[in-house]
Amino acid sequence: MQQEFLDSLSETALLALPFLFEFWAMPHQLPPDGDWKTWVILGGRGAGKTRAGAEWVRGLVEGRRPCDPGQARRVALVGETIDQVREVMVFGDSGLIACAPPDRRPTWEAGRRRLIWPNGAVAQAFSAHDPESLRGPQFDAAWVDELAKWRRAQETWDMLQFALRLGDNPRQVVTTTPRNIGVLKQLLRAPSTVQSHARTEDNRANLADSFLQEVEARYAGTRLGRQELEGLLLEEAEGALWRSAQLESLQRDSLPEMDRIVVAVDPPVSGHAGSDECGIVVVGAHTKGPVQSWRACVLDDVSLRAASPDSWARVALIAMESWGADRLVAEVNQGGDLVQAVITQIDPLVPYKAVRASRGKAARAEPVAALYEQGRVQHMRGLGALEDQMCEMTQRGYVGAGSPDRVDALVWALHELIIAPSAKWRAPRLRDL
């Protein structure tokens, strides 16, 4: 079928085909219809964001976008630095020069930091390190690259908005890997903003298999992977007890030395398909020597939304067996003796400890967050869902959707392994005679 199509084309059509981006583009690379001011393309690394931005500018300059009235004559190219504008947006493999047909290819004037197209359209390069350079020029279109990386993002963005004032409908495209910064969050909430989204995986055809295998093996399931590979905007609440950067710095690839392992369970109030998740977290600890040297490592998170109590109980017991845990710790505020009954029906001999919450979730979590601040807790890689919940737990409570069942299970496990035993620990010493 493909060969038949190619054979049906004339020589001129074949030569033009590589430059017909609408033919090759993925859905997230094509501008949405409608009356919008800003198009934000959120994507993972290598998802095709740069090509989409370059082709959007090219389409405006050549006047071939039916959804964009008019023809762009003056364009702003704004990146983190001038070097990055030049090397990525202009001369990059997916940049403006590479995607242009030979007869419409723009020329770079290094001294004036601008691109000139054969039809007279001009694109000027600007650095986000110098917001004031945008004071004075005016444009009818703009391409903003990696907005979430800019140190002076808000200042530069504001200056650009004042400069985007030519033509009947000045527009801008933003191509960025998402990060939790205010200017991006405000932009996405604006009614004049539209967005598209893509994962790194979506552009697999244009990426090396070895690259995908390496980054997926290393970062899949982590908060960093969700941001850099899945292109998701991971927000952190104001006053959060944990931060993304902190959790990423504590990740490890190999198992530490441990002398105790527990599985902690935070059961849902009800047991049906619409219930909250059942938090099930596996944590190990090394508790030999002085209490100040005790360390813990979060090994696994097998939390699930179970259709019945029997389902989550079996998952918890399988986790115990898989990790060689010496105790199952379960919160029983909601289920009381029923929680133990469900577990012991499956395994009557399971080492089991019931715990009851006498304080709020945030108050229980604060001593555990202090252990993280001291660098005494590490995470095995691949705990992204748990870490997302942790970053939404604040001193005033949980600000995420639903219940923080994974965090509750984590807190109970670390109370059992570190906090409760350390309160009773006394350093051995000689008795005075």
R_g of the chain computed on alpha carbons: 28
Domain boundaries for CATH 3.30.420.280 within the chain? 244-424
Average pLDDT along the chain, 433 residues, taken 10 residues at a time: 64 64 80 91 89 92 62 92 95 92 92 94 95 93 93 92 91 90 88 91 83 78 75 75 86 91 87 72 93 93 88 93 94 75 90 86 89 93 87 84 89 94 67 56
Is the full-model pTM beyond 0.85?
A: no
Q: 């959804």: which residue's tokens?
A: 67
Query: For residue 9, what pLDDT is reported?
Result: 65
- Provide the pairing of β-strand 122-127 with 74-79: parallel
Q: Could you give the residue range(s) of every CATH 3.40.50.300 domain in the chain? A: 9-228
Q: Report the candidate in 302, 275, 291 with the shortest Cα–Cα distance to residue 410.
A: 302
Lookup: tokens for 226: 């969700």
Nearest residue to 81 via CA among 57, 52, 113, 47: 113
Cβ neighbours for 418, distance < 8 A, ≥ 6 positions apart: 285, 287, 294, 296, 371, 376
3-class DSSP state for residue 55?
A: helix
Residue type, 205: A
Q: Are strands 393-394 and 377-380 parallel, antiparallel or unpaired?
A: unpaired
- How far is residue 368's CA from residue 237's CA, in Å, rounded to a whole number? 18
| Amino acid identity, position 15 | L
**Helix (H, G, I), strand (E, B), or coil: what is residue 66?**
coil
User: What integer pLDDT is reported at residue 363 of this predicted model?
Assistant: 87
Name the phi and psi angles at 145, rounded to 5. Answer: -115, 135
**pLDDT at residue 67 in the model:** 47
CATH number for the segment(s) 244-424: 3.30.420.280
CA angle 144, 37, 147 (to 5 degrees): 25
Torsion, CA 294, CA 329, CA 350, CA 321, rounded to 10: -60
Select 9-228's CATH number: 3.20.20.60, 3.40.50.720, 3.40.50.300, 3.30.110.60.
3.40.50.300
